Amino acid sequence: MGSKVFCGIDWAERHHDVAVVDEQGKLVAKRRITDDLAGFTELVELLADAGDSATDPIPVAIETPRGLLVAALRSSGRRVYAINPMAVARYRERLTVSRKKSDHADAMVLANILRTDAHLHRALPRDSELVQAVAVLARAHQDATWRRTRASNELRSLLREFYPVFLEAFGGRKGNLTSADARAVLVIAPTPAAAAKLSRARIAAALRRGGRQRGIDDLADELLEALRRPQLHHPPLVENAMGTQALALLATLNVECASVDQLAEAAGEAFRQHPDHAIVTSIPGLADVTGARVLAEIGDDRDRFADARALKAYAGSAPVTRASGRSISVTHRRVKNDRLAAVGYVWAFVAATHAEPAKQHYQRRRDQGDRHAAALRHLFNRMLGQLHHCLQTGQPYDPVKAFVPVGQGSLTAAA
């Protein structure tokens, strides 16, 4: 790092404390700025007075990787280091044993982290504007999916208490309670008593309102028979109250289902505009939505990861070895990018189901004693290395190179 001056910013919701130190750790400047345009202008002027220039911008350490301040700093072309607050706390203990703390002192700690250990920390990647937009939409879609699952589980838990026949009617169908059919029928039959009064025509009409276009009459007959099966009942007033609660939970579920669909379309549309779309989607198990999630987390800065091993550690697919004396343990990694690990499970599961080479690799791991999750994690680890190679070399996925038959050696792409 060529800079001889380092900046640390202790971030807060309404204001930020800034400290600038030189290569000996001496305080050059300090200031408290507001969280607005005027505060950022003041920060730029402070850095300029400290020797900031376009050719040698002063690096900045801050405890968060997001927000308007971070976005403005990144757009200025300088290296921005997002330091984990837990790491900052450990660095603080190196300087004092009294556990004293202040915003200015934390800003000094952040600046000194860059002065002494910048080589041990990773700067925020220099991702393109498009991939940052993909990240916003893909993460929002993932959050909406998790909220939809939460809302569905809440509704299922309630229905299990007073309306089990409804769960049985839709239990084996695609989407279960999140399907448009189930949500449309629950509107007209929120209680077992209401379901007993349903007619075939009303169920068919509800299915049409939910968007179904085929097999309506046959499905209506099946649901009519399923919903009229005998079951235990709560007292009428209690059952009606639970039905009202179910409709309230259904309203939340409807909103989350609509959000998932809307954000999936937006994320897929943005992802299709990215140059890496063809390479990412050439990998088995990755389509527009899952591919957008993967690209959102790894970005398009080719220098972000030193090699495939660094990417695998970031995703949590590479195991962790702990050795001390005669004790050696190899376990799965818990400190990781949770979003990338979550989509990695889906990616590996789909690949192991539909792609023959991936399926064979998964089965070999099972035959060697791995349980389902461990075998999928190993497959994800393998395919993540293949994706890294394809992106670095600009070539699409080739199953022949990716999964070399056992006994014939290995290629770079199969790392």
Q: Lowest-confidence range among 80-84, 250-254, 332-336, 365-369?
A: 332-336
Using alpha carbons only, give the angle 395, 398, 404 rounded to the nearest 5 degrees.
Answer: 130
Cα 175 to the chain's mean position, in Å? Answer: 22
What value does the mean pLDDT take over residues 274-299? Answer: 96
Dihedral sign computed on CA atoms, order 90, 94, 97, 103: negative
Q: Quote the CA–CA distance of 304 and 125 in Å, as a whole number.
A: 6
Give the model's pLDDT for residue 406: 58
| pLDDT of 334 | 81
Collapsed DSSP state (helix, strand, coil) of residue 290: helix
Residue 67 has pLDDT above 60, yes or no: yes
Q: Which is it for strands 15-22 and 27-34: parallel, antiparallel or unpaired?
A: antiparallel
Confidence (pLDDT) at 414: 45
Q: Please write the tens of the pLDDT for every residue from 337-389.
A: 999 999 999 999 999 999 999 999 999 999 999 999 999 999 999 999 999 99
Q: Please compute the mean of the pLDDT values over residues 64-74 and round it to a whole number.
A: 91
Q: 165-222, pLDDT tens digit by residue?
A: 999 999 888 889 999 999 999 999 999 999 999 999 999 999 999 999 999 999 999 9
CA atoms of 391 and 138, how far apart (whole Å): 19
Strand pairing class (327-331; 320-324): antiparallel
Strands 5-10 and 27-34, sheet pairing: unpaired
Q: Which two tokens stand for residue 43?
A: 């920060």
pLDDT in tens, 118-142: 888 889 999 999 999 999 999 999 9
Please answer whether residues 30 and 20 qualify as being in contact, where contact means their C-beta atoms are separated by less than 8 angstroms. Answer: yes
CA distances from 384 to 265, 271, 330, 404 (A): 25, 19, 20, 16
Position 410 pLDDT exceeds 50: no
Segment (H or E) for 183: helix 180-188
Find out whether 390 and 297 touch, Cβ atoms under 8 Å.
Answer: no
Counting Cβ atoms within 10 Å, is residue 308 exposed (0-12), middle (13-18) or buried (19+)? Answer: buried
Q: Kindly provide the b/e burial profile for residues 148-183, where b requires at least 16 CB atoms within 10 angstroms of the residue's own CB.
A: beebbebbbebbeebbebbeebbeeeeeebbbebbb
Strands (E), 38-101: 60-62, 80-82
Q: Which residues pair with 82 in a beta bridge?
A: 62
Q: How big, in percent rounded to 5, are the helix, strand and coil portions of the chain?
A: 60, 10, 30
Helix (H) or strand (E) holding 150: helix 129-162
Secondary structure of residue 329 in the 3-state scheme: strand
Closest CA to 267 of 145, 132, 130, 134: 134
Residues 227-281 pLDDT 10s? 999 999 999 999 999 999 999 999 999 999 999 999 999 999 999 999 999 999 9
* CA gap 170, 155 in Å, rounded: 13
Nearest to 250 by CA among 307, 206, 306, 281: 206
pLDDT score of 289 more than 80: yes
The values of phi and psi at residue 28, to 5°, are -95, -40
